[in-house]
Structures are given as C-alpha cells and as structure tokens.
Amino acid sequence: MPPRERPVTAEPAVFLKNSHNPRIEGGHPWIYAGEIGRVEGGPSPGGIVRVADRRGHPVGRGYSATPSGGATTTRPPPSP
C-alpha cells in the first residue's frame, strides 16, 4: 500500500489594512487589531500566522494573540 499523503493546509494569514505602514516597516514587533484589514484561515491564539499587506505582499510571520488575528507579533516563530 502506498503511504497516505498528509493534506496540505494553508497557514492562517493576517492582512493589513494599508499597504504602507511606517511603524511596522521600521521594525516594530506588534500589529494591533486596528491595523488588520482581514484574517483568513482562523488562526488559534498563539498560532503561527503569515502577515501580508493589503495587496498580499509578505510582511513576515508571527504569532496570533486572538482568533481574529488581533495584536499579532511579527517576531519570527521558532524554526521547525
């Protein structure tokens, strides 16, 4: 029997309201709920999320503080 393939799951994502955010671009580690335009994939608190600007361009990865993606930190998650 061939081995079972694991389903591919998309990493939850947080999209910023704006494509330009000087504070985040300057290295500030927190993204506050008011800066988030939408959340996809239902992140769990403490779960790893992909962070992108409004157009989908990558900003980084971080941890979600709430299921709505609020107060996401862009500190890099540990390597697997």
User: Tens digits of per-residue pLDDT, 41-71?
Assistant: 888 888 888 888 889 888 888 888 776 555 5
For the entire predicted model, the pTM comes to: 0.71
Question: Who contacts 22 (Cβ-Cβ below 8 Å, separation ≥6)?
Answer: none
Instruction: Give 9's pLDDT tier (boundaries 50, 70, 90).
Output: low
List domains and CATH numbers for the chain.
13-70 (2.30.130.10)
